[in-house]
Amino acid sequence: MSDPLGIRRLRVRAPDGARIEHVILQRPLHRVLAFTRRTIDDVINDPIARNQVRAYFKLHKWVHRASEISELERQWNNI
């Protein structure tokens, strides 16, 4: 490929089997605490914070389970 100035750009293609995939693991409770901007001390000492974190944790589990179910249905039905 070349641009209007005539400078040629080279593209280097990696082999098909050499794809790099980065996986970042996050624990659900840590994600919920980060989202609510609470610490574990807040959860232990404050009943309002405890209920808020519990509700978001349950919501996280519900959404995660629903996404797993829909993904399995997609695989089974070849959609």
Q: Going residue by residue through the chain (79 aa), what tens digit of pLDDT does each one get?
A: 545 555 566 566 666 666 778 777 888 899 999 999 999 999 999 999 999 999 999 999 999 999 999 989 988 887 5
Q: State the pTM of this model.
A: 0.62
Q: What is the 3-state secondary structure (H, E, C) of the chain?
A: CECCCCCECCCCCCCCCCCCCCCCCCCHHHHHHHHHCCCHHHHHHCHHHHHHHHHHHHHHHHHHHHHHHHHHHHHHHCC
Place of tokens 């641009």: 3
Each domain of the chain, given as residue ranges in start order, spans: 28-77
